[in-house]
Structure 1
Amino acid sequence: MLCLGVESTAHTFSCAVLEKNNKKGKILSDIRKIYRPPEGAGIHPREASRHHIENSAQVLQEALQKADVSISDLDIIAYAAGPGLGPCLRVGAIVARSLASYYKIPIYPVNHALGHIELGKLLTGSKNPLVLLVSGGHTMLLALTYGKWRVFGETLDITLGQLLDQFGRSLGFSSPCGKQIESLALQTNLYASLPYSVKGNDVSFSGLLSATKSLIPKGKEIACFSLQETAFAMISEAVERALAFTQKKELMVVGGVAANKRLSQMLHQVCKRQHCKFFVVPLEYAGDCGSQIAWTGLLESTTKSGAKLDETFVRQSWRLDSVEISY
């Protein structure tokens, strides 16, 4: 079975073609175009959506060509219906609806966060993990129980990705800023004390952001190193407590911030103490991509029929823990 996945929740417009044979999945193509805001700026929804409109046809064509398939070969089409930026979500939805309507192909709205998890399980081989989802849109600890991904901890204000991006923009970088911050942090091991806020299994990053900005006069490298060490230690504490509570024997990290090697190092130590396996999504698929949408659409198609066109939607706020998992 072949699926075209369309991802457009934020800065990335991506189309991917995946093939599913029984329970095995194969990525045939995954083409992306990423909106780059001006230096020191974040993602502007209108400008990002304009970028997606301008690049959608080319991305779709390249994805089909690389997979060596035509649209008529597709069995289903899936698109990211939320959560995300409204103008960006609508571009992907329109592309998916247009193709599904014209070629009479079943269409599936997919939760973007669920896509991160399902693609992570496919690529890592994790079976029943505690999931740490860390990105620009999410910071959540999740475990699947009774047909839903239940939240065992999350951010109380901004996400880990937003923390890195907002601080990075104060240094003059453009979003996403994680790579630049990680690179600067590697240049020193001098730590400056910063606020540490873990409340039960939840974390709060807004005070940490403000305090780290005040460190910039001491040096960008010191500020970046201290920010990472503090934020990742907070995450690690929450993860370790959740592992002990849920008794899970696997931890899987997904989302854009999963690409950070220092975060993986700290979480790997947590897993050693808790005697559980550690999985992290491959770097190439840590960020937003069409593959996560296509694979989740393929899984949902095993138990659900496609949505009617008038039932397709986009939802800027679509909590993962409200999605029923039927497959």
Structure 2
Amino acid sequence: MGIYLGIDTSNYRTSCALYDSCTGIVKSCRKLLPVKKGERGLRQSDAVFHHTKQLPELMEELFDGVPKLSGCAYSYAPREVEGSYMPCFLVGENVCRAVSASLGIEPSRTSHQKGHVLAALYSCGKLGLLENDEPFLAFHVSGGTTDMLLCKRDKEKVISLTVAGHSTDLKAGQCIDRLGVRLGLDFPCGEKLEALARKSSRDFRIKPSVNGMDCSLSGIENKCKAMLEKGESPEDTSKFCLDYICETISMMTKAGLEKYGNMPVIYAGGVMADKLIADQLSNRFDAYFAAPEFSGDNAVGIALYAALKGKA
């Protein structure tokens, strides 16, 4: 029992968080990485530079008046699979290891993806799913990932994540950001694209490209480009993009439940902060969503992982 630190330095945001295992209260500090107008992300070297600059400032804000830590953890890679690697995560790892060495505690490490799932479980009040051996489904839908995961409590790993379905090409967040940048929106574009879509009254007949439990999203970019070239409004094009993603996730969810049986479904990742998508999925499934501040990249799930590892 005590205070646990989590650090996550993804390709989108610098994040650090504290979790109090006695009260269940979290404190989170995070800041988007700066992306120039018209660009669709950062090179890894630029991401490392900005994390190196931003993380100390956020840590100073986070630790204002905080007592001694009981444990800490960092995200070391996007996913817990062979070959998953991004240099930007080294910044968080190095800082966490330095903190742990100064305090004489052993740091834990986990994946960025597992942090997303744990943050979503915390946010929607479903941490109890880790107290039994019943599996559940979780989606991690972001700019770098569109995965459907079969999840189960794991004594050593806290939670095991097995990829049941995924996008074979573009990811949902990439589709949103590419359209948003084309429309002149600032990166990342999710919130502003949703605002545009809400102004549309169009209903679209969507036929997602889903094969089993896998999907293909590469067609969205071309279809949206063609719509704009034909004179379709930014509002209607934005709604088509989000509707297509929603129907794709819905079809994948249905396929997963047909294979594994009826079970709760947790939706995590920045794309799942979109209320237009979340509201439709909530009407169709036993679905649970993280609050927006726990959907985008954050370190709350990483801090929670440190606490759960300390409890094991």
Deviation track 1:58-93 (CA, whole Å, cap 9, x = no partner) reads: 10011011xx314xx111121111118733211111
SS at match of 1:143: strand
One-letter identity of the residue aligned with 2:71: I
Contact 2:265/2:288 (8 A) holds in 1? yes
Quote the Cα distance in structure 2 between the aligned partners of 1:264 and 1:195: 19
1:146–1:186 distance in 2 versus 1, CA, 3 Å: closer
1:18 correspondence with 2:19: yes
Alignment of 1:172-251 (within 5 A): 172-191=184-203, 196-216=208-228, 217-251=231-265
Per-residue deviation, 1:103: 2.6
Corresponding residue number in structure 2 for 1:54 = 53
Matches within 5 A, 1:99-118: 99-118=99-118
Q: How many residues align?
A: 291
Deviation at 1:134, TM superposition (A): 0.9
- Structure 2 CA distance, aligned partners of 1:301 and 1:248? 32
Q: Percent identity?
A: 26
CA contact under 8 A between 2:264 and 2:287: conserved in structure 1?
A: yes
Note if contact 1:153-1:238 (Cα within 8 Å) is conserved in structure 2: yes
- Report how far residue 256 of structure 1 moved: 0.7
TM-score (norm 2): 0.87
2:171 to 135, 159, 162: 159
Give per-residue Cα distances to partners, 1:227-254, cap 9 Å, x unaligned.
1112211111111221232223312111
1:282 aligns with 291
Following the alignment from structure 1 to structure 2, what is the Cα–Cα distance between the partners of residues 187 and 270? 24
* Matched AA of 1:69: V
Secondary structure of the 1:188 match is coil
Give the CA deviation at 1:102. Answer: 2.5
2:98 is matched with which residue?
Answer: 98
In 2, the alpha carbon distance for the partners of 1:188 and 1:266 equals 16
In structure 2, what is the Cα distance between the partners aligned to 1:96 and 1:52? 13
Contact 1:3–1:74 (CA under 8 A) maintained in structure 2: yes
Q: Name the CA shift for 1:209/1:194 in 2 (closer, same or farther; >3 Å).
A: farther
Change (3 A) 1:146 1:286: closer
CA distance in 2, matches of 1:124, 1:19: 17
Q: CA shift at 1:195, angstroms?
A: 6.3
Q: Distance in 2 between matches of 1:139 and 1:91?
A: 25
Aligned to 1:37: 35
Closer/same/farther in 2, CA of residues 236 and 197 from structure 1, 3 Å limit: same
Distance in structure 1 (CA, Å) of the matches to 2:244 and 2:28: 35
Selected match of 1:77 from 72, 85, 88:
72
Task: Tell me what 1:291 maps to.
Answer: 300
Give the conservation status (yes or no) of the 8 Å contact 1:186–1:225: yes
Partner of 2:81: none
Does the aligned pair in 2 maintain the 1:195–1:207 contact within 8 Å?
Answer: no
State TM-score, norm by structure 1: 0.83
Deviations 1:190-240, CA, capped at 9 Å, x for gaps = 256676311111110112211211111322111111111122111111112
Q: Which piece of structure 1 moves more, 118-127 or 133-142?
A: 118-127
Is 2:170–2:218's contact at 8 Å kept on the other side of the alignment? yes
Aligned partner of residue 79 in structure 1, secondary structure: strand
8 A Cα contact 1:119 1:292, kept in partner: yes
Q: Counterpart in 1 of 2:146?
A: 139
Q: Could you tell me how far apart the structure 2 residues matched to 1:92 and 1:151 are?
A: 25
| Cα distance in structure 1, aligned partners of 2:219 and 2:125 | 37
The equivalent residue for 1:256 is 270
User: Judging changes above 3 Å, is the alpha-carbon distance between structure 1 residues 237 and 253 closer, same or farther for their aligned structure 2 residues?
Assistant: same
- Contact kept? 1:192, 1:222, Cα under 8 Å: no
- Alignment RMSD (CA, Å): 2.0
Contact persistence 1:3–1:298 (CA under 8 A): yes
Structure 1, gaps ≥5 residues long: 272-276, 304-327
**CA distance, structure 2, for counterparts of residue 157 and residue 267 of structure 1:** 23
Q: Name structure 2 gaps, 5 residues minimum.
A: 79-83, 130-134, 155-159
1:4 aligns with 2:5: yes
Q: Which moved more, 1:124-133 or 1:89-98?
A: 124-133
